[in-house]
A and B are shown apart, each in its own frame.
Chain A
Amino acid sequence: MSGGTSLENANPVIFERSGERLLTATDENEDVHDPIDDREIFDILFLHLIRSINDPEHPLSLEELNVVEQVRVKVNDAESTVGIEFTPTIPHCSMATLIGLSIKVKLLRSLPDRFKIDVHITPGSHASEEAVNKQLADKERVAAALENSSLLEVVNQCLTPRDI
């Protein structure tokens, strides 16, 4: 999905991936109620999902490009809400909507149906922040986009884990 011969962001800053979290005794105790919290989001979403989402332009994961950081993931299990802010690599990144859509699709597929998933651009990090946010929040347009087989293919490609 480079979309052309020249890359928009030819030399991205690459960030180190974070390590795996160690399981504690209570995590493995099935009798203890384990609500989905920020840490769970870090474990499930961040390590296993967002890390596997690839930047449409680079063979790097969103985490390596610092597009998604753990501090920008907010979850409230009791209210069934998940909010994620992502930071496009450059303020004019034309892939912002596609990256946001990929994050949204991955969360929609992975979390229980009760969750309300809000995906936003980190404030101040993109020139068309408001327009991209509005499009990602419009579930009717998201639903229509996902019925578009060529777009869905691109999204699925972004969501296919690479060997790391």
Chain B
Amino acid sequence: MKEALTRVQTLSAHPDSRCWFVSWNPTGTLLASCGGDKAIRIWGREGDSWVCRSVLQDGHQRTVRKVAWSPCGNYLASASFDATTCIWKKKNHEFESFDVLEGHENEVKCVAWAPSGNLLATCSRDKSVWVWEVDEEDEYECVTVVNSHTQDVKHIVWHPTRELLASASYDNNVCVYAEEDDDWECRATLTGHTSTVWSLAFDAAGERLASCSDDRTVKIWRETPGDSGQGDSSWKCVCTLSGYHGRTVYDVSWCRLTGALATACGDDAVRVFTEDEASDPEQPAFSLAAQATRAHSQDVNCVAWSPTEAGLLASCSDDGDVTVWRFHREP
């Protein structure tokens, strides 16, 4: 089998700035990018190329670190260094600032919607993770503040089907939270990385979680259910990908359609790993299937697989560009 990563298009998304993050809408028709220029850009497809559909400015006073689409695709949330999270509502083909969530003491690093669309989570350099509830009147209320990390919280991600939340931190740990009696509690702390954990991604079934770190490794964790089905679950590291990344691994994306794992690295490369079909689920083996060593001219900050088109991958970089790639597997 021959695999390759080919460049489809490079967009000068945030010129003279850094592009921090990209996010696909649920139908894979729009891509949102954000960056150090405090702006969010929405990209849409026109024939074979991607064009800028709208620019969302004036929502934030400082860097927009991450963006996330609601599961219905009608809302976009943006997390900013200005300590706020903006909710944008799609109206016809434009986006309007709809609400501003305040409360974190300093930089908001990440925002994520639960699969139901009724919950939103944010995390910050103030070491906390906040869970917000969205009611029928589209009002946001903070229901929990969890302080399980001892340092800056970098990333949060929801389980694909269950109301389970995972967070990654500068304290080198990953925490997994679940709701108990209207309160969110840390159910498991995943220790093993030896430096900052930058990002997380669940696999399609939600049985496994991938984490990537400043320690230049990617770890795969697998859930082992608790004895009674209640209480603490435990997550065991079943695989460590080491020796592939030359510098910090800033992001990881696990394709829900193909199972391929993509990484964004500080050595300017985008890499794609595939799981060896014959490998034991208790001890899975991943191999490097394809890589673009000079994917960008500076650090790659984010990789995101299209949710609807198998093999379509977007990446973004400190050079301000967004690149769309196609990952081929030829039999």
The interface of chain A, by Cβ under 8 A from chain B, is 113-114, 116, 134, 137-141, 143-144, 147
Q: Which of B65, B109, B266, B298 contacts A113 (CB 8 A)?
A: B298
Q: Shortest CB–CB separation between residue B258 and chain A, in angstroms?
A: 29
Question: Which residues of the other chain, B, contact A138 by a CB distance below 8 angstroms?
Answer: 170, 196, 214
Question: Which residues of the other chain, A, contact B125 by a CB distance below 8 angstroms?
Answer: 141, 144
Question: Which residues of the other chain, A, contact B266 by a CB distance below 8 angstroms?
Answer: 116
B271 within 8 A of A: no
Asked, given contacts A143-B36, A143-B63, A144-B107, whether A114 binds B297 with beta carbons under 8 Å apart, the answer is: yes
Q: Shortest CB–CB separation between residue B81 and chain A, in angstroms?
A: 5
Question: Which residues of the other chain, B, contact A137 by a CB distance below 8 angstroms?
Answer: 214, 248
Question: Which residues of the other chain, A, contact B247 by a CB distance below 8 angstroms?
Answer: 116
Task: Let me know if B63 and A144 touch, CB within 8 A.
Answer: yes
Task: Let me know if B298 and A147 touch, CB within 8 A.
Answer: no
Q: Shortest CB–CB separation between residue B20 and chain A, in angstroms?
A: 8
Task: Let me know if B63 and A139 touch, CB within 8 A.
Answer: no
Task: Let me know if A143 and B18 touch, CB within 8 A.
Answer: yes
Q: Shortest CB–CB separation between residue B304 and chain A, in angstroms?
A: 18
Question: Which residues of the other chain, A, contact B62 by a CB distance below 8 angstroms?
Answer: 144, 147
Q: Which of A113, A116, A140 contacts B319 (CB 8 A)?
A: A113
Question: Which residues of the other chain, B, contact A134 by a CB distance below 8 angstroms?
Answer: 170, 195-196, 214
A sample of 26 cross-chain residue pairs with beta-carbon separation below 8 angstroms, ordered by A number, consists of A113-B297, A113-B298, A113-B318, A114-B298, A116-B247, A116-B266, A116-B299, A134-B170, A134-B195, A134-B214, A138-B170, A138-B196, A139-B318, A140-B65, A140-B109, A140-B154, A141-B125, A141-B152, A143-B18, A143-B36, A143-B63, A143-B81, A144-B62, A144-B107, A144-B125, A147-B63
Residue of B at shortest CB range from A137?
B214
Question: Which residues of the other chain, A, contact B65 by a CB distance below 8 angstroms?
Answer: 140
Q: Is the interface of B mostly helix, strand, loop or mixed?
A: loop
Q: Shortest CB–CB separation between residue A160 and chain B, in angstroms?
A: 24
Given contacts A141-B152, A143-B18, A144-B62, 19 further A-B contacts (CB under 8 A): A113-B297, A113-B298, A113-B319, A114-B297, A114-B298, A116-B299, A134-B170, A134-B195, A134-B214, A137-B248, A138-B196, A139-B318, A141-B125, A143-B36, A144-B63, A144-B107, A144-B125, A147-B63, A147-B81
Q: Is the interface of A mostly helix, strand, loop or mixed?
A: helix
Bound complex: CA A143 to CA B35 (Å)? 11
Task: Let me know if A139 and B299 touch, CB within 8 A.
Answer: yes
Residue of B at shortest CB range from A113?
B298
Bound complex: CA A79 to CA B65 (Å)? 28
Bound complex: CA A147 to CA B106 (Å)? 12
Question: Which residues of the other chain, B, contact A143 by a CB distance below 8 angstroms?
Answer: 18, 36, 63, 81
Q: What sequence of 0s and 1s flags, for each residue 58-96 of chain B, a beta carbon within 8 Å of any chain A beta carbon?
A: 000011010000000000000001000000000000000
Q: Shortest CB–CB separation between residue B321 and chain A, in angstroms?
A: 12
Within 8 A of A (CB), among B169-227: 170, 195-196, 214
Q: Which of B81, B170, B248, B299 contacts A144 (CB 8 A)?
A: B81
Residue of A at shortest CB range from B62?
A147
Bound complex: CA A143 to CA B301 (Å)? 13
Residue of A at shortest CB range from B198?
A140
Q: What sequence of 0s and 1s flags, for each residue 284-320 of chain B, a beta carbon within 8 Å of any chain A beta carbon?
A: 0000000000000111000000000000000000110
The 5 A-B pairs of least Cβ separation, nearest first, read A147-B62, A144-B107, A144-B81, A147-B81, A113-B298
Q: What sequence of 0s and 1s flags, for each residue 138-161 of chain B, a beta carbon within 8 Å of any chain A beta carbon?
A: 000000000000001010000000
Q: Shortest CB–CB separation between residue B172 and chain A, in angstroms?
A: 10
